[in-house]
Amino acid sequence: AQTVTQSQPEMSVQEAETVTLSCTYDTSESDYYLFWYKQPPSRQMILVIRQEAYKQQNATENRFSVNFQKAAKSFSLKISDSQLGDAAMYFCAYGGSARQLTFGSGTQLTVLP
Amino acid sequence: DTGVSQNPRHKITKRGQNVTFRCDPISEHNRLYWYRQTLGQGPEFLTYFQNEAQLEKSRLLSDRFSAERPKGSFSTLEIQRTEQGDSAMYLCASRSLGLAGVTDTQYFGPGTRLTVL
């Protein structure tokens, strides 16, 4: 069974600075997707970025980028120029042949003005 | 594309009562998933449908839980004889099956927060 580990329960960043959220996973599959979802307080889960395992190039979406290290089974999220609206719980998720997503326990990000 | 919708958004019930939640997926998404999320944790998979067929159920889905997706459109999740441990956020997600058959992005609804007194 796949597992996803987020070892940082809480992180904080100063507005306009850069922060990196960590995620590691365990799998024996070679073909899979990895996702970062954002869940603001009392609001729904929103996709931030996704990475296909077969792609070597790291995914980027505006201020959000990932560092995907397939051999190390590491998938970190970098948020540049942090904004107050980035404050949320961030979940790393694995999607493979099992169809459903396996989520980590989340990292609560606080953005300080 | 109006997104995934869920009703009700909040449900408070007394222990032992039955509750039913509804999920309307993004139109033409043939896969629909149910997850449960407890406070401070990531969502945990409960079950999923491809069209009207329920293809997989987690061991978390006890006999008191039943899900349906008639006609392959909306889905309902029913919990019978609710217990205090059922208190959680119940999330629905949908996605289309990619042509290559590989996992694609799941889009989540706002969830139904259940409180069992």
Nearest CA in chain A to B33: A100
- Reading the block at residue B108, the tokens are 């989540």
Q: Please tell me the predicted confidence (pLDDT) of residue A39.
A: 95
pLDDT above 70: percentage of residues in chain A: 99
pLDDT score, position B99 = 53
Query: Which tokens hold the place of B90?
Result: 């119940």
What backbone torsions phi and psi does residue B70 show, to the nearest 5 degrees?
A: -65, 135
Return the DSSP state at B113. E
Which DSSP string corresponds to A18-64? -EEE--EEE-S-SS-EEEEEEE-TTS--EEEEEEETT--SPPEETTE
A103 CB neighbours in chain B (<8 A) are 42-44
Neighbours of B44 (CB within 10 A): 17
Q: B18 to chain A, minimum CA–CA distance in Å?
A: 24
What are the pLDDT digits (tens) for A40-64? 987 889 999 999 998 889 999 999 9
Predicted confidence at residue B100, as pLDDT, reads 52
Task: Say whether A37 and B108 touch across the interface (CB within 8 A).
Answer: yes
The pLDDT tens digits along chain B (117 residues) read 579 999 999 999 999 999 999 999 998 888 999 999 998 899 999 999 999 999 989 988 889 999 999 988 999 999 999 999 999 999 999 988 765 544 478 999 999 999 999
- Are residues A101 and B41, on separate chains, in Cβ contact within 8 Å? no
Q: What pLDDT is attached to residue A47?
A: 94
